[in-house]
Amino acid sequence: PPGRKVLIVYAHQEPKSLNGSLKRIAVEELSKQGCSVTVSDLYAMQFEPRATRNDIVGCLHNSEEFNYGMEAWEAYKRGGLSSDLIEEQKKVQEADLLIFQFPLYWFSMPAIMKGWMDRVLVQGFAHEFPHCYDSGLLKNKLALFSFTTGGSREMYAEDGISGDIRYLLWPMQHGIMHFCGVKVLAPHICFAPEYVSEEKRQEMLIAWAQRLKTLWKEEPINCSPEWYFK
C-alpha cells in the first residue's frame, strides 16, 4: 500500500543475473504500488563484511581487550558507529519490510550479506536481552528471504539428499530475523535456475511479480521450530 517503506538488501555481482532480475522486479512492482523502495546493493557498495575495530569511531570502552559485541553496543549508544553502519541502520529503522535477495551459497547467504547481518544488527539497535525474539527491538517489521539455489527442488525435499530447504532457513529466519523481533513471510525460492529453460526462468520472474501484488495481505509464518522441523 502507498506509503509503505521497503529495503531490499541485494547480494549478487551481476545485474543481468536472475537475482538481478528478481531485485529489479521487486523495485518496479512495489514502487508501482506506491511503496518507497531503497536498495542496498552490497557488491556495488563494496560493503565491508568484516566486523573490526574500524566499526567504532573514537575511543574504545575497554582499550585493554577488544570485545566487538560490547564495543559496538557501547558505540551505538553514544552514536559512535562508523558512518556505513549508521546509514544501513537508518534504512532498516525506516523500513516496514526487508527483502533479502541472494543466491544460496553453501546452505547459507553469501559472506557479504552475512557480514551485513553481523555488523548492522547491533545490540541496542536490533536486540537487547531480554528484548529478543517476540520482543526484539525490530518488532512490527516484516522480512522476506528471496533466493536462488543450485540444487533442484527434489534435492531439497524432506527425503532429498540435501534435506528439507526449511532446515537451512532456521539460522537465517529464526536465528537472525525472529531474534530481532522481525516477523517473517514465507521465503521465495527459485530452484536451480541455471539448469532450467529460459522459458522456466521467465515463469519464475512472473511468479515473483504476481506474489508481490498481494504481498501485504500475506500472514507471516509461524515463528516456531515446528515450521522448520515438523
Cell of 73: 553496543
> How large is the C-alpha radius of gyration of the chain?
18
The residues with which 81 forms a beta bridge, in sequence order, are 56
Q: What pLDDT score was predicted for residue 124?
A: 98
pLDDT at 213: 97
Contact of 12 with 20, CB cutoff 8 Å: yes
Dihedral angle sign, alpha carbons of residues 68, 70, 71, 77? positive
- Residue 52 CA to residue 68 CA, distance in Å, equals 7
Buried b (16+ CB within 10 A) or exposed e, 32-45: ebebebebbbbeee
User: Residue 2's pLDDT is what?
Assistant: 80
Domain 5-229: CATH superfamily, name plus number:
Flavodoxin domain (3.40.50.360)
State pTM to two decimals.
Answer: 0.97
- Determine contact, residues 157/192, Cβ cutoff 8 Å: no
125: closest CA among 79, 163, 84?
A: 79
Q: Per residue of the chain (230 residues), what is the pLDDT tens digit?
A: 789 999 999 999 999 999 999 999 999 999 999 999 999 999 999 999 999 999 999 999 999 999 999 999 999 999 999 999 999 999 999 999 999 999 999 999 999 999 999 999 999 999 999 999 999 999 999 999 999 999 999 999 999 999 999 999 999 999 999 999 999 999 999 999 999 999 999 999 999 999 999 999 999 999 899 999 98
The whole-number pLDDT of residue 172 equals 98
Q: So what's the pLDDT on residue 211? A: 98
Per-residue HEC secondary structure of the chain comes to CCCCEEEEEECCCCCCCHHHHHHHHHHHHHHHCCCEEEEEECCCCCCCCCCCHHHECCCCCCCCCCCHHHHHHHHHHCCCECHHHHHHHHHHHHCCEEEEEEECECCECCHHHHHHHHHHCCECCCEECCECHHHCCCCCCEEEEEEECCCCCCCCCCCCCCCCHHHHHHHHHHHHHHHHCCEECCCEEECCHHHCCHHHHHHHHHHHHHHHHCHHHCCCCCCCHHHHHC
Residue 140, all three cell numbers: 512490527
For the chain, the domains span 5-229
Q: Are the beta carbons of 178 and 225 closer than 8 angstroms? A: no
